Copies of this chain bind each other. A is one copy, B any other.
């Protein structure tokens, strides 16, 4: 299977050079990027007036939460969780998770996301959905033991079941990772087990970290250390740890994260909507911490649009620092692409020969993307997910000219509506 994309403006390499060239894909790799490729291919796409970008890497989400989108907004955090999110989550069955996850995956394909990192429950269902869609994903079961040994054992069992399920699935696009929910919901015993098992199996870890001021305070009270110090003390941290949020971080914690090679996933829309706070982008960058970008779940965003997320990130840090030079377009664009790939040790996130063919074509023949004074600027500030028209993952076309080829869009929209109605009834 080969694909030749002709005449596009390509965002090339790690330095995001914009060049006019053709791209040849063979198998699941980009094999050539050159001014005029004359070789034949199974599929030829004319991308004149269009931009070829690395696919976006949504480094933190909870895909099945599409089911909860718009159900309750603008509420105090504990009211929102206790009276709206948790009561519904308790009633979610594998069927809800499958259709909710598939709806999220459909949305991500349409919006140009080619890889996502997920944490939820009934994750075998999401694995099936990812496999059917042709997406690339890193899937974790969100473990919470609250210090209860019985609960801990059940969570470990569930995690090992998912690990086994994904192993047996044998998809080159689907990876398991460990998902201890957070330092304030997981016991030291559970966190130690995760660390050991991750090292033993060579799988990565994702965790929520320092999202709210309250959770930082409660960890300090309980352990006499900040959350990052606490995890470091357990020997938990390493360059296989992807930590979401990192909103409330001391300089000492940032120094530890940098030294250990931990990636922080920034989720600006969610942090703003839940009023969690503002991640210290400048301090993290200065310390050399790798920062990826995520949408979080659709209940706290409320979409999975990585292009919109880039804009929100770029805007937030400027006004927060009262400095318009912070979070420039190139920094933010890298967060949404190559930094996510770096976090996952994945050969993607850039367009270059030898990289995985995970890329998207964005239609710039639209009024809000004209005149084309700056390609990266337009992607960060002016575009949104609806401007993506073609999405290629692992060398396979998942969406062509706005039409998703691997999924039945109408059926998914209908099913998502149907399962929610039954949930409410």
Contact = CB atoms under 8 A, between A and B. Distances in A.
A66 B20 CA distance: 24
Nearest to A410: B365
A371 interface: yes
A386 interface: yes
B68 A367 contact: no
Nearest to A374: B70
A13 interface: no
Nearest to A68: B373
A315 B318 contact: no
A384 B328 CA distance: 23
A95 interface: no
Interface string A396-425: 000000000000011011001100100000
Contact of A74 (B319, B324, B372): B324
- Chain copies in the assembled complex: 2
A145 to B, nearest CB: 28
Given A303-B382, A312-B315, A315-B272, A374 B111 contact: no
A301 B311 CA distance: 9
Contacts of A272: 315-316, 318-319
Contacts of A329: 73-74
A73 to B, nearest CB: 5
Contact of A111 (B368, B370, B385): B368
Interface stretch (A121-129, A215-223, A273-281): A273-281
Interface in A50-82: 66-71, 73-77, 80
Contact of A373 (B365, B387, B420): B420
Contacts of A367: 66, 103-104, 106-107, 110, 409, 412-413
Given A319-B275, A413-B370, A416-B371, A73 B312 contact: no
Which of the listed residues A104, A312, A378 has the most CB atoms from chain B within 10 Å of its own CB?
A312
A174 to B, nearest CB: 21
Nearest to A365: B413
Contacts of A321: 275
A377 B327 CA distance: 28
A274 B381 CA distance: 13
A318 to B, nearest CB: 4
A382 B277 CA distance: 21
A374 B70 CA distance: 5
B71 A373 contact: yes
Nearest to A247: B319
A358 interface: no
B323 A275 contact: yes
A307 to B, nearest CB: 9
Given A319-B271, A387-B386, A302 B103 contact: no
23 contacts: A66-B370, A70-B373, A73-B329, A73-B374, A73-B377, A74-B329, A104-B367, A106-B367, A271-B319, A272-B315, A275-B319, A275-B324, A276-B319, A277-B319, A303-B382, A304-B368, A305-B384, A312-B312, A365-B410, A367-B413, A368-B385, A370-B416, A386-B386
Which 9 residue pairs spanning A and B have beta carbons closest together? A386-B386, A272-B315, A70-B374, A70-B377, A107-B367, A74-B328, A302-B381, A272-B319, A70-B373
